Structure 1
Amino acid sequence: MSGAAGPLLEPSAGEQPGPSGPVLVHARGLRKVYGGFTAVDGIDLDVRQGESFGILGPNGAGKSTTMRLVGCVSDPTEGELSILGLDPRHDGPSIRARLGVVPQKDTLDEDLTVRENVVVYGRYFGMSRAAVRAKADELLEFVQLSDRADSVVEPLSGGMKRRLTIARALVNDPDILLLDEPTTGLDPQARHVLWDRLYRLKREGVTLVLTTHYLDEAEQLCDRLVVMDGGRYVAEGSPADLIREHSTREVLEVRYRTDDHEPYAEALQRLAQRVEVLPDRVLLYVQDADETATAVLALGGERPMSLLPRRSTLEDVFLRLTGRTLVD
């Protein structure tokens, strides 16, 4: 599923090489303003070949606008942007021919069959009938839809439609696959099936750029990610690096039989490096959650309803950086 060759931006002198080499997406000081609203506010961006790069943030953070800029369907208001070594202001059609796009909402033709949706889309890229039919069969096998190839799209489940949308986006062997919130609205089983397909693409060296407001999705799929809020970056790094920098090794979740956990925070504060009070629990950020659980029980007084030791996650990072949960 390799993409077409073309001019690329090489790393600057002294810069450490990325996962597989050259930079495919390069931006500096990128801004997008709609009237009086700034959707993207001066971000820098580098995505390298073979990387799985995630843009994480709540609704309205600027994720989808960033994807529209990278997908060459919206021009930046200010800043420098290069996609595949080309200028999207002048080379938009050439760039779009080398991208695969999975939009937030499926745009499948529900009156056509599963195979016909891929074949028709492939013909837009000038592929011969024989080549596109062979490619369609290959992709439908990859997304586990071969047994539904001759079914019309309309009755398919949401997960099947998302997998078909991904198959369609891969028909031109794109250099970059853009996925805008690919699993929104799917049940947990469908999400995990889709994650498996995306993970396989990453293993094959396909460059992925995805937005999501699911923290577990970002942690599963992304080599590197940025957290966006209000059109700006709040943090950047690999999931492990972000957790290491902004959280502790482990977390102890403490629950009492109450709707107000604030009164317990002061007593628990001395047992942790940091305390986060949520409506239904208190989070203690510590290095050893089991040891801390023993210390909580030794405090005496009201016994907690539950004590849950766990490792730190990106959700803990997000709480630290923004003070609220990710999905508004």
Structure 2
Amino acid sequence: MHKIRYTTILLLAVFCIIPIVSILMIHHLTLTDTLSKMGSGSLGKSAAILKIENYDTVGDLTSALSAVKGDHAIYFDDTEDDSTLRYMYFNRNYINLPMKEGRFFKASDFTEDNAVCVVGKGKVDETYKKGDDTYCNPDGREYRVIGVLGYESSTVLDDYIFVNMLSADLKDAGIFTFDFFDISVPDERAEEMIDYYTDKGIRAEVCSQAASFSESVMPQVFSARWFICLLAACFLCLLLISVRWVEHQKRELAIHRLVGASKKNIAVLIVCKYLAVFVISFVVGFVYCHIIYPAYFASLISGYLISIAFIIVFLIWSIFYILRTPIEEVIQ
């Protein structure tokens, strides 16, 4: 009985470890990819820098992102010494950034009357409390701080302040960066943006455009290779422990067969026991992910869906293996 308990606990631990390791590795890959892209000022698969003139409001600029199909972001950077004030807007989804406190922008945050910002951890000393909220005044206007960016070690993100572009006055700005998150070749998308602005009477021209260099470096190649090896090792460990768990279950299930339990009841018992372990591990992974890495909850669900394929195959093998084993052989 002690062996069964030990094996069950070990099986439960492995089921808990796999999603946690997967989330940590996905977190590492995402941050590595993000931080490597930050050096070039863009975070998408490709980017274009446009010179835009003769626009009346910031809304004239951001409306193009809704009119042109795809996932995009627009930035205007005001850099002074080692500090960067980035006015930004995105239309749908954005990449995951490392947060020390609070959260990053959501698409719903971008309204003209919502003066909010996200500061890097190196800019926290420039913030101040006002009632229950924290504020920052990087350009002469007061913005409410909704989050603090920062990784464990020092990065270029530490000296950034991200501001809701729609709430700012950018009439004198002329050079804007457009981030494209769904295409690796920016030429056609940049032309679509220019055509939209031209139709609105706004003058726009391409200054430069490029695919993200980081698409070909470590995050997608080397780290991904180690991630696959680590995941394969975890599943191999899970398989070996699961087989050992089944071996320990054989005697108990043989007793059920001796007292008249049908094959259907035995199969249901095997499935229920194994799924109980899986469900407990899911709860542990759910709590861990929700508290520590809420942005990766979708990855947790995807990981468990992949695990279900493994579980189905293993359970089918377990049922046939146990039911085909003679009772006499098990009792000996």
Task: Place the TM-score, normalised by the shorter chain, in its bin.
Answer: under 0.3
Taking structure 2 as the reference length, the TM-score comes to: 0.24
Higher helix proportion (structure 1 or 2): 2
Higher strand proportion (structure 1 or 2): 1
Structure scoring higher RCO (CA < 8 A, sep ≥ 6) equals 2
Larger radius of gyration: 2
